[in-house]
Chains A and B, each alone.
Chain A
Amino acid sequence: MTDDTALILQTHGTDQPNRTYAPLFYAMTAEAMELDTTMWFTMDGTSQMAKGAAEEVQIDTSTDVTLRTMIDRALDAGVKLTVCHQSMELFDLGEDDIIEDAEIVGAASIIDLALDADMVMYF
């Protein structure tokens, strides 16, 4: 692992399946390149972290690959998932509604992560 860190923000949700694949893929790529990588799901992106939601999003209609498949691959690769607490409340999601693999954090934490990251990508 290098000392470099990457932060990837995802603001698109499960209602836009075509916008869910690439940020996860970039996160896995960053990890493969030995960047300590965190994804931050906020705004509509919060919906991707709701329990049971990602399983319903078909990424590749020719296979059984879902958004959940991609999330699991990202986790296996070492990507850390975080979700915006404030966005959760806007979407009426409680802590029990979020997948256990994601850490719930507030806005100040993400500002800290952004300040410290060597690379930040926004989607």
Chain B
Amino acid sequence: MSQRVHNCVIPTDRHLDVEEHVWAKVDDDGVVTIGMTDIAQSLAKKFLHAHLKGPGTEVEKGKSVATVESSKYVGPVKTPVGGEIVESNEGVGDDASLINRSPYEDGWIAKIEADNLDDDLEGTLMGDEAVEAYREVIEGHDQLEECEHIEGSDLE
């Protein structure tokens, strides 16, 4: 479930941290899957490397679960929730461009067993509220007119 704004796919079925360009989806078993948004992968261009923190690592809300690099960008993937990483995406570790091709499905970054889920998710947005917040970000951004999707993207 998603909407498209300036060719940027914005999911409406998960929590978004619009400022940090990450999403969090609470799975049926309560584990939270974290990933980067379409806007993030468009801004960074093709990711070349991803350095993921491994299972068992404790992370605080707002801290890094991975470092991602493109030729133009390097930065942390900041988790919206604190807790223990129970799984990190080896596929992304092997091929970071998976984040570009499938930011919301195969290109997830980490799965976290959250310590304080409800409190940590405060401040994130869902649904139409998230879409409108992101619309404002996209339209105000001086480096992004519309999202671009690389060959093989599941967003096209």
Identify the A interface with B (CB < 8 A).
1, 25, 28-29, 32-34, 65, 77
Contacts and interface: CB of A to CB of B under 8 A. Distances in A.
Q: How large is the interface on B (under 10, 10 to 19, 20 to 34, 35 or more residues)?
A: under 10
B2 interface: no
B12 to A, nearest CB: 29
A77 B76 CA distance: 9
Interface of B: 51, 63-64, 67, 69, 72, 74-76
Contacts, number: 21
B2 to A, nearest CB: 28
Contact of B63 (A29, A34, A65, A77): A34
B126 to A, nearest CB: 27
Chain A contact surface mostly: helix
Contacts of A32: 64, 67, 74-76
Given A32-B64, A33-B64, A65-B72, 4 more contacts: A25-B74, A28-B75, A29-B69, A32-B76
Q: Shortest 10 CB-CB distances between A and B: which pairs?
A: A32-B67, A32-B76, A29-B74, A32-B75, A28-B74, A33-B67, A32-B74, A34-B64, A25-B74, A29-B67
Given A25-B74, A77-B75, A33 B51 contact: yes
Question: A25, A28, A32, A65 — which one has the most chain B CB atoms within 10 A of its CB?
Answer: A32
13 contacts: A1-B63, A25-B74, A28-B75, A29-B67, A29-B69, A32-B74, A32-B75, A33-B64, A33-B76, A34-B64, A34-B76, A65-B72, A77-B75
B65 to A, nearest CB: 11
Contacts of A33: 51, 64, 67, 76
